[in-house]
């Protein structure tokens, strides 16, 4: 039975016990990471998912709170002896930045590094991101501060569909992408440029006629970091 596991749900400022937003979908033959914040190996272990089972990463956009754990994940899997190919999917904007970031870490000098393949997703409605024996994933560009992808993830075994807004203003494209889904995971960071309120997320869920709405990327404890 496939699983959708939330590894973090916080908005840009994480705090203890509440990591930045990222998740994983686990099927029979593949586990696909959606974004890569903070401490992916520890979070995956807690969720009972072996790093060796990770097949793919889909990057929704290149903001630090969504990719801060990526260089560490790639290095840790190398140190731990991964041999299998790892595939990274994202827009040209994201992929070019990942390549620059990893070049700064001189990853071309890592001996016996496992193969990493990059797959560029066009910023067009309903682009195919990934199609394997477990999942079909499509993306559409949403309306954030930089090029950002919303996702529609279908599990082929059960037919379960999850849609994920990522970071965005409320947009009609998300209604289309989430149409009839079993669950819509929509951000609710608040009334800020490039983000949505929980009420706006509810409106999108209602228009898309989804069965359930999960709010994510919400601000929960900024006060603990306030300066005196």
How far apart are CB 144 and Zn ion at their closest, in Å? Answer: 6
Smallest distance, Zn ion to C-beta of residue 164, A: 13
Q: Which is nearer to Zn ion, 55 or 68 (CB)?
A: 68
- Closer of 63 and 152 to Zn ion (Cβ): 63
CA distance 81 to 31: 18
Q: To the nearest whole angstrom, how small is the minimum distance from the Cβ of residue 167 to Zn ion?
A: 4
Strand partners, 119: 89
Residues 6 or more apart whose CB falls under 8 angstroms from that of 109 comprise none
- How far is the C-alpha of 46 from the C-alpha of 202, rounded, in Å? 31
From the CB of 22, what's the least distance to Zn ion, in Å? 12
Contact 5, 24 (CB under 8 A): yes
Helix axis angle for 70-79 and 92-104, nearest 10°, is: 60
Residue whose structure tokens are 């998300």: 174
Q: Which is nearer to Zn ion, 154 or 167 (CB)?
A: 167
Using CB atoms within 10 Å of the CB of residue 169, give its burial: 0 to 12 exposed, 13 to 18 middle, 19+ buried: middle
> How far does CA 20 lie from the centroid of its chain?
11
- Containing H/E element for 104? helix 92-104
Phi, psi of 221 (to 5 degrees): -150, 45
Contacts with Zn ion by CB under 5 A lie at: 63, 167
Q: Is 143 or 167 the residue whose CB approaches Zn ion more closely?
A: 167
Q: How far is the CB of 197 from Zn ion (least distance, A)?
A: 16
Instruction: Identify which of residues 89 and 195 has a Cβ nearer to Zn ion in the complex.
Output: 195
- In this complex, which beta carbon is closest to Zn ion, that of residue 134 or of residue 167? 167
CB of 112 vs Zn ion, minimal distance in Å = 35
Local structure of residue 115 (DSSP, 8 states): P
């Amino acid at each position: 039975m496939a699983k959708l596991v939330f590894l973090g749900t916080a908005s840009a400022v994480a705090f203890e016990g509440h990591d930045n937003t990222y998740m994983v979908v686990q099927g029979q033959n593949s586990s696909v990471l959606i974004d890569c914040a903070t401490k992916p190996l520890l979070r995956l272990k807690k969720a009972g998912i072996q790093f060796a089972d990770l097949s793919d990463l889909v990057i929704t956009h290149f903001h630090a709170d969504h990719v801060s754990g990526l260089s560490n994940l790639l290095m840790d899997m190398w140190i731990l002896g991964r041999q299998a190919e790892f595939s990274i999917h994202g827009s040209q904007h994201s992929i070019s930045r990942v390549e620059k970031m990893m070049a700064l870490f001189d990853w071309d000098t890592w001996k016996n590094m496992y193969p990493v393949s990059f797959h560029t997703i066009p910023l067009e409605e309903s682009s195919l991101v990934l199609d394997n024996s477990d999942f079909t994933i499509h993306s559409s560009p949403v309306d954030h501060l930089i090029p950002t992808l919303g996702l529609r993830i279908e599990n082929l075994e059960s037919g379960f569909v999850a849609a994920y807004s990522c970071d965005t203003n409320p947009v009609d494209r998300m209604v289309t992408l989430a149409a009839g889904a079993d669950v819509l995971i929509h951000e609710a960071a608040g009334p800020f440029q490039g983000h949505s309120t929980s009420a706006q997320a509810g409106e999108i869920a209602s228009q898309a006629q989804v069965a359930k709405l999960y709010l994510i990327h919400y601000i929960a404890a900024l006060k603990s970091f306030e300066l005196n």
